[in-house]
């Protein structure tokens, strides 16, 4: 279960949130892994407060470059200096507002892997694409761009998050069956890359709340969640984490 704080947080509030999440997560059953992807300036704070806890921390984007004259960019290796485990790549907000192409996202995933980070590759269709019946085509292209640059072993080490753009921050969640259909499609595509790749964790993201978490995570191919808004409140985020431990499949 991974929280995506997006551009939220202040140093004082974060301390409370991180401490509460760490305390709550330690009471979860084994088998539920918890992470939080925080804004870059708070990586050091996350490292200080989460080291030794069961909660891992991550970055929300990385540069496609390893270093150099790229003002404002953050290299995956820099994040690794702060003990980071996860790097979200290809979030729909990056694709939409920063015009990130599938190829650029693939380079970012590559840099993350080289730095020893686990990329969380986000894929998802817009409402127009869903209504036009091109969901699988869009998602297939986004996934394939990354998989084609990875070895089978590298691909087996990533995490994939399905986040329908129309469900992010809108309060509209994909129906569990709708999400499951896309997850099953992703699983088939991953299997084409290799048997071990089919086992990568598939997260669902888009308005996950304590009220809908159990039904979503109960779907066969939904292994966890990428949680935006609800990860900013420890009570909500931990309730979602607890919902994950009640389902088995």
Q: Which amino acids are annotated as binding site, given as ranges?
A: 4-6, 169, 207, 228-229
Closest to ligand PGA by CB, 6 vs 111, is 6
Kindly tell me which residue out of 22, 226, 243, 244 binds ligand PGA, with binding defined by CB under 6 A. 226
Per-residue binding letters, 206-225, with ligand PGA (x by CB under 6 A)? xxx-----------------
Tell me, letter by letter, the H, E, C secondary structure of 69-131: CCCCCCCHHHHHCCCCCEEEECCHHHHHHCCCCHHHHHHHHHHHHHCCCEEEEEECCCHHHHH
Question: Is 174 in contact with 167 (CB distance < 8 Å)?
Answer: yes
Minimum CB separation of residue 67 from ligand PGA in Å reads 28
Q: Does 159 bind ligand PGA (CB under 6 A)?
A: no
Which one is catalytic: 93, 100, 125, 163?
163
Kindly tell me which residue out of 100, 125, 163, 221 binds ligand PGA, with binding defined by CB under 6 A. 163
Report the C-alpha dihedral over residues 229, 28, 242, 239, rounded to 10 degrees. -40
Residues paired with residue 229 on neighbouring β-strands, in sequence order: none
Q: Does 243 bind ligand PGA (CB under 6 A)?
A: no
Minimum CB separation of residue 220 from ligand PGA in Å reads 22
Tokens of 106: 């693939």
Task: Give the count of residues interacting with ligand PGA (CB under 6 A).
Answer: 13
Which one is catalytic: 91, 125, 129, 183?
91
Instruction: Give residues with Cβ within 8 angstroms of 156, minimum separation 6.
Output: 194, 196, 197, 199, 200
Q: Is 211 a catalytic residue?
A: no
Q: In which residue are the tokens 């109960």 written?
A: 218
Q: Does 168 bind ligand PGA (CB under 6 A)?
A: yes
By CB under 6 A, what part of segment 106-125 binds ligand PGA? none
Instruction: Give residues with Cβ within 8 angstroms of 114, minimum separation 6.
Output: 66, 76, 77
The residues assigned a catalytic role are 91, 163
Q: Which residues bind ligand PGA (CB under 6 A)?
A: 4, 163, 168-169, 205-208, 226-230
């Amino acid at each position: 279960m991974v929280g995506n704080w997006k551009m939220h947080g202040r140093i004082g509030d974060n301390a409370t949130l991180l401490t509460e999440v760490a305390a709550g997560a330690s009471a979860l059953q084994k088998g539920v892994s918890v992470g939080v992807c925080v804004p870059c300036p708070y990586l050091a704070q996350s490292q200080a407060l989460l080291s030794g806890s069961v909660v891992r921390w991550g970055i929300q984007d990385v540069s496609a470059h390893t270093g150099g004259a790229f003002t404002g960019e953050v290299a995956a290796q820099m994040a690794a200096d702060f003990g980071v485990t996860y790097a979200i790549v290809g979030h729909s907000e990056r694709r939409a507002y920063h015009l990130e192409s599938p190829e650029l996202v693939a380079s970012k995933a590559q840099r993350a892997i080289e730095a020893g980070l686990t990329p969380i590759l986000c894929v998802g269709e817009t409402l127009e694409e869903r209504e036009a019946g091109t969901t699988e085509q869009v998602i297939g292209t986004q996934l394939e761009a990354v998989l084609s640059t990875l070895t089978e072993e590298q691909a087996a080490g990533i995490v994939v998050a399905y986040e329908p753009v129309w469900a992010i921050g809108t309060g509209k969640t994909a129906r569990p069956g709708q999400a499951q259909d896309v997850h099953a499609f992703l699983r088939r595509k991953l299997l084409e890359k290799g048997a071990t790749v089919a086992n990568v964790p598939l997260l669902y993201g888009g308005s996950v709340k304590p009220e809908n978490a159990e039904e979503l995570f109960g779907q066969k191919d939904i292994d966890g969640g990428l949680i935006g808004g609800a990860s900013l409140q420890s009570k909500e985020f931990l309730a979602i984490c607890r919902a994950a431990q009640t389902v088995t499949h």
